[in-house]
Amino acid sequence: LIVLGIETSCDDTAAAVVRGNGEILSQVVSTQADLLVQYGGVAPKMAEEAHSRAIDWVTQSALDKANLTAKDLSAVAVTIGPGLSLCLRVGVCKGREIARSFQLPIIGVHHMEAHTLVARLTDRNLQFPFMALLISGGHNLLILAHDLGHYIQLGTTIDDAIGEAYDKTAKWLGLDMRRSGGPAIEDLAREGDPDSIRFKVRFFDFLKHFPSHFCTIDAEIPLSLASSLDRRSRADIAASFQRVAVLHLEERCEGAIEWALKMEPSIKYFVVSGGVASNQYVRARLDQIAKNIGLQLVCPPPSLCTDNGVMVAWTGIEHFQMGRFDPPPPADEPEDTVYDLRPRWPLGEEYAEGKSEAR
């Protein structure tokens, strides 16, 4: 079994080829660094054009690096949501074009499920059920993963996700955004004092049980002035922001997981994934939380935490092996075919009291 995975839900154009046994044959990512700097964030139309420019060579070089042609593939997996529909469409069109030409089955993948399941590729002992915290540009999501395709949300975000908070803070501090705000804050924070600046973090309850809604951050220093401060002061802000932001995650997760363990005592693993999980400070702090509650942390390597094609290919493999896939698109598929794109697509169901099963 050999699957090509294609990912274009946000600002990275990514493709990878993965074998059914988890062997990664190739991995290619094209980032939109220049656009991020120019527009200070992801502008959907510009991102779509950048995906369109990159998609052909990204998929071709994933095949080339794997020493394969599309004829050798067993199936194509492509992210169909959630994300920006203009961007999703670029990947879906490419995936269908390949699937149509070579009459391959196609698997439509949930981007956040892919962030979760890639942990089962990197740690082959990881069995369901497990806890997962997904922290990325668009999500803070704490889930109980019961089984493949069967997830219960214990907490999510209704405002900024933590990755977005990192990006905003980096922008306020005038940092180099070429690698997105997270790595810039992580690097600068190493030089700063995490206890030097008090941040107020305003929380809102949104889920009855475990509010993990992230935050609007107010610092004592007006953040509009922050970019003109000297490096030392900006490092203090970066370090203090990071401490408070991650402390919030730690507190929310610890309580919620302890509660979930009462419901599901067989859980042994705590997965942390998504772009923010590539941060070493975040990994170390959440490892401590996992130890406190007697779970083993599984955190994919940084390159598989940020958006990538491997996670999409692997999620495709998991579903394919369960017989969940679409037949090859017909060779004479009309050009005006409406594709299944799901820009808003929750992962699983919110936990509801008295409802032990969710699907």
141-161 per-residue burial string, b: 16 or more CB within 10 A, e: under 16: bbbbbbebbebbbbbbbeebb
Give me 348's structure tokens: 């699983």
For ligand ATP, the binding residue among 48, 113, 160, 167 (CB under 6 A) is 167
As measured in angstroms, the least distance from the Cβ of 181 to Fe ion is 15
For residue 108, the partner it binds in ligand ATP, Fe ion, none, with Cβ less than 5 to 8 A by kind, is: none
Sign of CA dihedral 275, 207, 79, 128: positive
Among 85, 147, 154, 77, which residue's Cα sits nearest to residue 116?
147
> Which residues on adjacent β-strands are paired with residue 78?
6, 108
The piece of 278-286, 288-296, 300-308, 316-324 that touches Fe ion (CB under 5 A) is 300-308
Binder of Fe ion out of 136, 140, 180, 278 (CB under 5 A): 136
C-beta of 1 vs 158, nearer to ligand ATP:
158
Stretch that binds Fe ion, among 42-50, 189-197, 260-268, 307-315 (CB under 5 A): 307-315
CA dist list (Å): 230 to 180, 221, 223, 226, 293: 21, 13, 13, 9, 40
Binding mask 75-114 for ligand ATP (x = CB under 6 A): --------x---------------------------x---
Comparison of 99 and 188: residue with beta carbon closer to ligand ATP: 188
**Using the rule CB under 5 A, is 308 a contact of Fe ion?**
no
Alpha-carbon span 80 to 95, nearest angstrom? 10
User: Which residues does residue 151 pair with via DSSP β-bridges, in sequence order?
Assistant: 145
DSSP state of 106: E
Backbone angles phi, psi at 16, to 5 degrees: -160, 155
Read off the amino acid at residue 268.
Answer: K
Given ligand ATP, Fe ion, none, residue 186, with its beta carbon under 5 to 8 Å by kind, binds ligand ATP
**Start-end of H helices in 85-230:** 85-102, 111-122, 162-172, 181-189
**Binding ligand ATP by CB under 6 A: which of 55, 79, 91, 166?**
166
Q: Does 169 bind ligand ATP (CB under 6 A)?
A: no
What single DSSP character describes residue 339? P
Q: Which position among 89, 94, 120, 139 is part of the footprint of ligand ATP (CB under 6 A)?
A: 139
Quick check: 136 binds ligand ATP (CB under 6 A)?
yes
Structure tokens at 93: 């069109």
Among 307, 312, 314, 319, binds Fe ion (CB under 5 A): 307
Q: Which residue has the tokens 């990912």?
A: 7
Q: Residue 48 interacts with ligand ATP (CB under 6 A)?
A: no
- Out of 95, 181, 211, 328, the residue judged to bind ligand ATP by CB under 6 A: 181
Structure tokens at 146: 């019961």
Q: Count interface residues toward Fe ion (CB under 5 A).
A: 2
CA distance 319 to 199: 43
Reduced to 3 states (helix: H, G, I; strand: E, B; else coil), residue 154 is strand
Instruction: Give least dist CB 219 to ligand ATP, A.
Output: 18
Nearer to ligand ATP, 24 or 347 (CB): 347
Task: State which of residues 160, 186, 236, 318 lies at the interface with ligand ATP (CB under 6 A).
Answer: 186
Q: Which residues bind Fe ion (CB under 5 A)?
A: 136, 307
Positions touching ligand ATP (CB under 6 A) are 9-10, 83, 111, 115, 136-139, 163-164, 166-167, 180-183, 186, 274-276, 278-279, 306-307
